[in-house]
Structure 1
Amino acid sequence: MVDIEWEVQVPAGGPTVNVTGTVEDVYSQLKTFDPEFGTEFPPTDHNDAIEAPGSAHSAGRQLPDGVPGRPSNGPGPGNWGRVSCSYNSAIHWCNDPLALAPIVPVSLLNRRDAYMYLNHITEVLTAALRRLLCFFGRAISASWKSLPKKRQKLALAFISAGFTVFLVLKLGCNLFYADYWEWETTSRFLGSPSANEIRDNSSNGDDLCDSFPTYHLSRVQVVLKVGSTEPPSRIETHIATVTRCITNLIVFSDHESQIKCHRVYNILATLPDSFWGNSSDAQAYRALQRGEFDTVESSQGWKLDRFKFLPMVERAYEMNPAAKWFVFLESDTYFVWDNLFRLLDQFDPSVPLYLGSPTSGKGRSWFAYGGSGFVLSTAAVQKLVARKVGSRGVYSQPPLNQRYEGLIKEDCCGDSVLGWALYKSGVKLSGMWPMFNPHPLHGVPFDEQHWCQPVISMHKLSLEDMTGLARWEKQRGRKHPLLYADLFEYTEWGNLGIKVNWDNGDWGGWQEPAPSPAHRSLEACREACHNHPECFSYTYHDSGHHCVFVPSVRLGAQKPATLRLSAGWDLDKIKQWRDTHQCRKPQWMKPSTDRIF
């Protein structure tokens, strides 16, 4: 290991100071010149490249690890690993010309570091394998030459036959293996009334629940997580539509209150004092307890959310230990209850199961994205909350929350912490995307992956969509599972035209190279999309004069007039695609973390 020589101006714009060593050493030395050094670019320890921090999926940090400059010495590019500019050990390499870099998601940083590390290991192993193959090649070549011609021909025939069998089996698996089940499921909902009856009772919304299988809630415990800084209208609309029929609904928040006929439990009150101290989280929490809701920013309320996940799972189990399934959702999550119940009827709750939309988490774990909702079997919850017992029946482990107190404080997101805690308990995520969907209704990219699959959940729905979907679900009946293809018809896509101040290309779109005539005007963009076989909708940026093609059908959303955006859809192409993609049977997706959002 070579000591790094750094030339850093302290303070910024001040005299140049020469220091040596790792980032940790640099900070120690520079603080003797300027006690305030490090407040702008705090150092970050990235030593554990593969076991990345739990907040890796969303946080951003400065490079290279907080030092505003790059080393003035070093062995140069290509001499991998001889000089380290990690916080205190050799993981983040100074051979890269890293000067002062922009904020980069720490998930990418850790993946890059891990990639560099694994790439070096791969090079070493490749070289060793090459030598080994050369050795065996020479030995086999000598043996082959000593064989009679007849035996050589037989050996070649045997090798060819074996290779052919391997290819047939491999191709057969790929051709005949389906990533989904074609279950014949039945609805637990009772017979639905006619559309006329629905319109007659539409004034109070009570008809939404007249066919709901409330008896099934003895097996399914539904938990709604909310926050005091959320718009009250959103929570009230959710309880009036999505969770209206959930008679055993448990509502957890960061403040004790009452919403409609539901008691709202302050789940954070179960945490010990060690969680709070005098942090900004503690100050926000105490302000909420004093009823000073206007003094707490919504962003700070969101930060408090990470404290709720572990205690809410534990408390839900304590309140209803007889439940077979625990379903967790948020105030902007929409659940298609009929599809969810059909899905759960296919699984055994005595098996530890964790279902949701997969997101990369800490280390090699995956967690279910909280906004899409997630489901835990009773066996999974039992494994999570279990504590080791020592002699004389005394617990030898602290409670669940205290076991992960440090991680909860440092991580940004509670769904990530919960996923890691389940992973450490031996419960891995069963990824159910796209049935559990992070998109809102206007953001669903209707395509092959969002067509014959049942819709179980969506996220960030508007209040209008929650109300409209709940009533439309009731009206369409529940003879068959609700598929994305059905949801597509709800959007009334046939009425779409060019929309001004609209964007449908902010997710999943691409641009043609700059010389393309598509960028000349809105009409040129429309024509170019029509002529491109993979373009189904488009957005034109008039201010920047560029055209975005979208390979799916998305409703998109309204945007400020100052952005000068216009969006359109190729209705002829969309109709042709829809007519040639009729769903023979529902595709209930098999669990996977390779298939992700």
Structure 2
Amino acid sequence: MVLRRSRRIALVSSLLGLFLLYHFVSLRPELYTRTYDATAAAAGHHRTGSASETAECPVLPGMEDVLVVMKTGVTESLDKVPVHFQTTLRCVPNYIIFSDFEEEIQGVKIHDALRTMDTVVKETVADFDLYNRLREQGRAGLDNSDFADEANSNIGKPNNPGWKLDKWKFLPMVQQALLHKDNAKWYVFMEADTYFSWPTLLEWLAHFDPREPHYIGTETQIADVIFAHGGSGFIVSNPAMQLATNEYATRTIELNEYTDWHWAGDCVLGKVLADAGVSLHYSWPILQNSNVGELDEFAKGFYRNPWCFPAVAFHHLSKREIQDLYAFEKRRRQETDNPILLHRDVFKELIYPELSNVRDSWDNLSDQENPAITTFHECQTLCAATRHCAQFVIRDGVCFTGETPRLGTSNPAARSGWVLSTIENMIDHAPRCSKPDFGLR
């Protein structure tokens, strides 16, 4: 549906957008929001600013110039957000969390990303039905259908109320994040099922000039728009944030109409930045739209081999997986002086130790179908006899094989195995990674 408004409403809304931009820039952020210091809260006192490393938090020079922006929604926030207070956000000095419902979770304010949006849009566009119920009734306004976790189609989850509302958050979220900390050099956007390795991120960002407009993320395309995939995490420099905010303030009506027509808010933001002259810096495989079980560290079919690239972010993670990654990085800090996490390290230290000849109730995501083979033993024999076969699985009675090893995921209807000698040979012949590949060539 394309928004239909009279010229009078359009003029008023456009002027309102300009007023809000001026109003936001002139406001002091502390009057309406705050930066929550999770480390100080956990310790029960204010941080002293000491450079010495605590038991939990590494020294992160440059992190004070970063604002971490987490996006979530009311239907997932109580379940997915709290784990971050003791993991990804524990040692972050500046962060803000946006949702479609303002509340507090464990003492941390969750901000309404949509509060500054055009009232006409919120009152007339069907996508805001959930939002308006929440405004009137709070969480009591939720019903079971709001929590429907339908599978993603090629246009997301078109019948899920929270998913339809989510696309509207991106542009006002950028506007409010810039207001919250207008002197940050970098704005790092993540979702509630995303994990970031902060030391690795900072080493990567050191190769970019924050005084220039940068938009960095995992390249995705819808029609003619190339944009950063939101769930993988993306990074925007201060100058680029200002350009996006100015575009939104001066083209409010047009961009609201575009968002209403579209189905992906991260694509809308990508278009706005492109229109402002900021093209996307491609980040794959540094920022991943995969969890650890889905990673293919020996991937052959893409323009980069992940092995020597930094592993900065992962997506589609459970609470347990976020905790495991946090604990893994903590162990690494005790064992090595190198802060950079490479995909090589992820494979050797997290994936390879979990591989075995046989794993029941497990699917390692092999994708080459062999329909004539229906037993585990035959599938295993086929893979062992095939030169480049690294793994196999019987899934629903059919044999699948794969040339690159992946960990996979639990599946009661599957039984997996890996050819360890093949995988060991792949590791032996992998690049030495004398230095990280930041993909800057």
- Distance in 2 separating the partners of 1:398 and 1:577: 52
What's the Cα RMSD here?
2.4
Once the two structures are superposed, the pairs formed by residues 190-229 of structure 1 within 5 Å of their partners are: 207-209=55-57, 211-213=58-60, 216-229=62-75
Q: Is the 8 A contact 2:64 2:93 kept in 1?
A: no
* Equivalent residue number for residue 510 of structure 1: 368
* Equivalent residue number for residue 100 of structure 1: none
Q: Deviations over 1:407-452 (max 9, x none)?
A: 1112111101111111111111111100011110111112152321
1:293–1:342 Cα change, 3 Å = farther
Q: Which amino acid aligns with 1:551?
A: E
Equivalent of residue 405 in structure 1, options 253, 256, 264: 256
Cα displacement (A) at 1:585: 2.1
Q: Is the 8 A contact 1:252 1:264 kept in 2?
A: yes
- Alignment of 1:310 onto 2:171: yes
TM-score after normalising by structure 2: 0.78
- Unpaired segments ≥5 residues, structure 2: 2-49, 148-159, 300-304
- Distance in 2 separating the partners of 1:191 and 1:511: 54
Q: Which amino acid aligns with 2:173?
A: M
- Distance in 2 separating the partners of 1:303 and 1:548: 36
Bigger RCO of structures 1 and 2 (CA < 8 A, at least 6 apart): 2
Q: Which runs of 4+ in 1 moved over 4 A?
A: 189-192
- Distance in 1 separating the partners of 2:76 and 2:59: 28
- Distance in 2 separating the partners of 1:495 and 1:282: 45
Q: Deviations over 1:516-567 (max 9, x none)?
A: xxx1421111111122222211111343xx22112221111112x3xx3211
* Equivalent residue number for residue 441 of structure 1: 292
Once the two structures are superposed, the pairs formed by residues 92-171 of structure 1 within 5 Å of their partners are: none
Equivalent of residue 385 in structure 1, options 231, 240, 245: 245
* Equivalent residue number for residue 162 of structure 1: none
Q: Which amino acid aligns with 1:474?
A: K
1:440–1:571 Cα change, 3 Å = same
TM-score after normalising by structure 1: 0.58
Q: Is the 8 A contact 1:336 1:456 kept in 2?
A: yes
Equivalent of residue 316 in structure 2, options 436, 460, 472: 460
Q: Alignment identity in percent?
A: 30
Cα displacement (A) at 1:570: 0.9
Q: Which amino acid aligns with 1:532?
A: T
Matched position secondary structure for 1:565? strand
1:372–1:401 Cα change, 3 Å = farther
* Equivalent residue number for residue 343 of structure 2: 484
Cα displacement (A) at 1:282: 2.2
Q: Deviations over 1:129-150 (max 9, x none)?
A: xxxxxxxxxxxxxxxxxxxxxx
Matched position secondary structure for 1:283? helix
1:535–1:379 Cα change, 3 Å = same
Q: Is the 8 A contact 2:190 2:232 kept in 1?
A: yes
Equivalent of residue 422 in structure 1, options 264, 273, 278: 273
Q: Deviations over 1:106-141 (max 9, x none)?
A: xxxxxxxxxxxxxxxxxxxxxxxxxxxxxxxxxxxx
Of the structure 1 ranges 489-498 and 451-460, higher mean CA displacement relative to structure 2 is found in 489-498
* Equivalent residue number for residue 537 of structure 1: 391
Q: Is the 8 A contact 2:171 2:245 kept in 1?
A: no
Q: Is the 8 A contact 1:537 1:553 kept in 2?
A: yes
Q: Is the 8 A contact 2:351 2:407 kept in 1?
A: no
Q: Deviations over 1:74-103 (max 9, x none)?
A: xxxxxxxxxxxxxxxxxxxxxxxxxxxxxx
- Distance in 2 separating the partners of 1:325 and 1:505: 36
* Equivalent residue number for residue 282 of structure 2: 431
- Distance in 2 separating the partners of 1:549 and 1:474: 35
Q: Which amino acid aligns with 1:537?
A: Q
Cα displacement (A) at 1:398: 4.9
Equivalent of residue 300 in structure 1, options 158, 161, 165: 161
* Equivalent residue number for residue 39 of structure 2: none
